[in-house]
């Protein structure tokens, strides 16, 4: 099992990857028009919201004690899984 710090670093690295992917979707959104642009915006709004939730959970983990970490980790994993699913859905659509 990964240590608290290893787990936090792994999630931070994944969030960095998500940020890069969101940036790619933003670029495609700027190039799109009409209905496609609106779809991009809806997915981007959802991705940003879920990214912020995951980022918030990560910050809670960073601020937590080792004892509280295990309890908070499950919430962070749930937030990460939601973000990952939204990203997969966006990839399938675009």
Quote the number of domains for the chain.
Answer: 1
Q: How far apart are CA 94 and CA 82, in angstroms?
A: 18
Domain that holds residue 68: 4-93
Range with the largest mean pLDDT of 5-9, 44-48, 80-84: 44-48
Contacts of 65 (CB under 8 A, 6+ apart): none
Query: What is the value of pTM for the model shown?
Result: 0.74
Q: How many CB atoms lie within 10 A of CB 67?
A: 7
Question: Whose CA is closest to 83, among 58, 62, 64?
Answer: 58
pLDDT number for residue 48: 93
């Amino acid at each position: 099992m990964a240590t608290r710090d290893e787990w936090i670093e792994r999630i931070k690295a994944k969030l960095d990857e998500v940020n890069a992917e969101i940036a790619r979707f933003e670029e495609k959104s700027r190039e799109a028009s009409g209905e496609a642009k609106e779809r991009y915006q809806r997915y981007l709004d959802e991705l940003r919201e879920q990214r912020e939730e995951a980022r918030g959970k990560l910050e809670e983990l960073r601020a937590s004690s080792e004892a509280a970490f295990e309890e908070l980790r499950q919430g962070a994993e749930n937030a990460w899984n939601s973000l990952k699913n939204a990203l997969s859905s966006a990839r399938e659509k675009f």
